[in-house]
């Protein structure tokens, strides 16, 4: 069972829980994020309206430089299996402080509803930064490193907000092998923050990489008048590199649930540091320094490498 952390609580209690969740499961629920259910409902409604547009209207905005539309079976997250049966739309070049992004790269429906996306970006980013600095403090990273990591949010990043639709496969023939909604993978960036909806489950984790898959159920808000459902957060490869494998970038996938009759919509923010950020291991008494850092690539180079594999 995943832990739930309330980020509106004092730092001391959060830090311990965060260290445990990030090193044992790599996934957790986060509440106290301050994002209203009304805003979450609005952003899901926007995503649904977009995906229901005619295909040519969507392919006009086909993905380029990790921004835009990905059609069914275009992407493949697990290189050993088949293509992912999903559609997606990415917003990029997001200003991490304001949530703004270049409007003119996107179809009219997103230009007209700009505020919804911008506000969501801004609030999500605020939670991401809070979690990140709690983690640095929990790891007792030295002040100089903490200071230098502040820069990793200040400038051009590859952070992306992604709308996803996994269509139901009621009408699709078994032989098409469309049971993979998102193949097994780890996330490439710093962390990912996910909204999912009630009754549209399918996300699963393989915490110990032993092919034992655990489901991540939808968790409702305990006080919907105050804030929306908890976010599902997971840590990406970059945090694993910085901590020389102490923090887990856990393998996960999305499968078709038994009913097969329901679409799944999810919304994920993939948080990335400034592109030039080094991925070398940090110094901390918790981090093992007996081996070399796992990669010498910087954040931008590493993302490019992973994207090449995904869109082969
Ligand atoms: O839709 C989901 O629940 C997760 C998707 C995911 O893991 C991804 O796109 O990286
Ligand atoms: Fe993922």
HEC string of 243-294? CCCCCCCCEEEEECCCCCCCCEEEEEEEECCECCCECCCCCCCCCCCCCCCC
Residue 32: pLDDT above 90?
A: yes
Helices (H) and strands (E) in the chain, counts: 8, 12
pLDDT of residue 91: 97
pLDDT of residue 174: 52
Average pLDDT over residues 18-38: 97
Tell me the pLDDT band of 259, cut-offs 50, 70 and 90.
Answer: low
pLDDT of residue 175: 44
Is residue 14 in contact with ligand 1, taking CB distance under 6 Å?
A: no
**Which tokens is 207 given?**
């915490």
Q: In angstroms, rounded to a whole number, what is the distance separating the alpha carbons of residues 15 and 22?
A: 10
pLDDT of residue 177: 59
Cα of 185 to ligand 2 centre, how many Å?
6
Average pLDDT over residues 270-280: 93
Average pLDDT over residues 36-47: 98
Q: Nearest 5°: CA angle at 25, between 198 and 310?
A: 75
Question: Which one of 79-88, 101-110, 277-286, 291-300 scores highest in mean pLDDT?
Answer: 101-110
pTM (predicted TM-score): 0.94
pLDDT of residue 312: 66
- Give the CA radius of gyration of the chain: 19
Cα of 246 to ligand 2 centre, how many Å?
19
pLDDT of residue 215: 94
Q: In angstroms, rounded to a whole number, what is the distance separating the alpha carbons of residues 89 and 201?
A: 20
Average pLDDT over residues 21-44: 97
Residues paired with residue 274 on neighbouring β-strands, in sequence order: 157
Cα of 216 to ligand 2 centre, how many Å?
13
Tokens 């996330």 belong to residue: 187
Is residue 253 in contact with ligand 1, taking CB distance under 6 Å?
A: no
């Amino acid at each position: 069972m995943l832990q739930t952390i309330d980020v509106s609580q004092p730092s001391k209690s959060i830090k311990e829980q965060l260290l445990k969740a990030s090193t044992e499961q790599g996934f957790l629920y986060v509440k106290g994020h301050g994002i209203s259910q009304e805003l979450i409902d609005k952003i899901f409604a926007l995503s649904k309206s977009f995906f229901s547009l005619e295909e040519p209207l969507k392919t006009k905005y086909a993905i380029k430089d990790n921004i835009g539309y990905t059609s069914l079976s275009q992407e493949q997250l697990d290189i050993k299996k088949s293509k992912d049966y999903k559609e997606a739309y990415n917003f990029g070049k997001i200003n991490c402080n304001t949530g703004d992004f270049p409007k003119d790269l996107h179809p009219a429906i997103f230009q007209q509803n700009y505020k919804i996306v911008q506000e969501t970006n801004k609030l999500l980013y605020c939670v991401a930064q809070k979690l990140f600095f709690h983690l640095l403090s929990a790891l007792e990273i030295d002040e100089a490193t903490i200071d230098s990591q502040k820069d990793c949010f200040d400038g051009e990043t590859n952070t992306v907000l992604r709308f996803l639709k996994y269509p139901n496969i009621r009408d699709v023939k078994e032989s098409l092998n469309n049971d993979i909604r998102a193949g097994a993978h780890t996330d490439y960036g710093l962390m990912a923050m996910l909204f999912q909806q009630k009754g549209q489950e399918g996300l699963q984790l393989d915490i110990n990489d032993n092919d034992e898959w655990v489901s991540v159920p939808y968790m409702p808000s305990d006080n919907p008048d105050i804030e929306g459902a908890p976010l599902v957060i997971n840590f990406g490869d970059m945090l694993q590199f910085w901590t020389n494998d102490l923090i887990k970038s856990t393998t996960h996938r999305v499968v078709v649930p038994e009913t097969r009759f329901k679409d799944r919509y999810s919304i994920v923010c993939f948080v990335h540091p400034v592109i030039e950020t080094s991925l070398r291991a940090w110094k901390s008494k918790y981090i093992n320094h007996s081996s070399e850092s796992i990669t010498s690539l910087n954040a931008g180079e590493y993302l490019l490498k992973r994207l090449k594999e995904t869109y082969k």
